[in-house]
């Protein structure tokens, strides 16, 4: 699967992979990309947002990590906030891609709407990242608003 970059007006909210559903965000959007069934976008800050739908393949993971790297290049680190309510699994080959991407300055990931299975998958992925990056916080919240508060608090800790 290939990704496509879509430049959006800075005031347009991102559209989730669910047809017709608009992801509400108080942050301005700089770009949105589709990676398979997943959608990622960068806020004009240090945050990469994601809506993860279904399983994550190795090719998709590579594209996701490229966006993280781009945000880190602009800000020195990256924070991730993802809607994980539809997350499936992360394939073994996708986890292997993570092991090959060392030095990515991840400083925190927060998931909202995650099922028990999605939490297990996320903990596994962060553990793999942690082996090669020294670890970083992972948080889970039921709502996007709570996840946003966590991101704001985490950013304050990093300053």
Question: Which tokens hold the place of 44?
Answer: 């004009």
Give mean pLDDT, residues 46-54. Answer: 96
Q: Which CATH class is domain 3-158?
A: alpha beta
- pLDDT the model gives residue 32: 87
The ranges assigned to domains in the chain are: 3-158
Q: Is the dihedral of CA 141, 98, 56, 152 positive or negative?
A: positive
Give mean pLDDT, residues 65-74. Answer: 93
Q: What is the pTM of this model?
A: 0.79
- pLDDT the model gives residue 50: 97
Q: For 2-25, how does the pLDDT look when each residue is reduced to its tens digit (9 = 90+)?
A: 433 333 333 333 334 433 333 444
As beta bridge partners, residue 83 has 51, 112
Asked if 34 and 3 touch (Cβ cutoff 8 Å), the reply is yes
CA–CA gap between residue 55 and residue 88 (Å, rounded) = 4
Could you tell me how far CA 103 lies from the centroid of its own chain?
A: 17
- pLDDT the model gives residue 159: 86
Q: Give helix 92-99 / helix 116-133 axis angle, nearest 10°.
A: 30
Percent of the chain with pLDDT over 70: 81
Give me the chain's average pLDDT, please: 82
- The residue with greater pLDDT, 5 or 1, is 1
Tally of CB atoms within 10 A around 104: 16
Nearest to 36 by CA among 68, 4, 84, 71: 4
Rg (CA), the chain: 14
Asked if 113 and 83 touch (Cβ cutoff 8 Å), the reply is yes
């Amino acid at each position: 699967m290939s990704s496509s970059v879509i430049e959006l007006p800075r005031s347009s909210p991102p559209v989730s992979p669910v047809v017709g559903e608009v992801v509400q965000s108080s942050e301005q959007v700089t770009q949105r990309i589709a990676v398979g069934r997943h959608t990622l976008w960068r806020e004009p800050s240090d945050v990469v947002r994601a809506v993860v739908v279904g399983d994550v393949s190795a090719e998709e993971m590579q594209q996701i990590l490229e966006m993280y790297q781009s945000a880190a290049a602009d800000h020195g680190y990256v924070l991730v906030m993802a809607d994980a309510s539809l997350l499936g699994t992360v394939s073994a080959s996708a986890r292997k891609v993570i092991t090959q991407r060392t030095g990515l300055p991840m400083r925190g990931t927060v998931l909202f709407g995650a099922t028990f299975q999605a939490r297990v998958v996320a903990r596994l992925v962060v553990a793999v990242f942690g082996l090669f990056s020294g670890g970083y916080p992972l948080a889970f919240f039921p709502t996007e608003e709570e996840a946003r508060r966590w991101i704001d608090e985490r950013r304050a800790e990093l300053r």
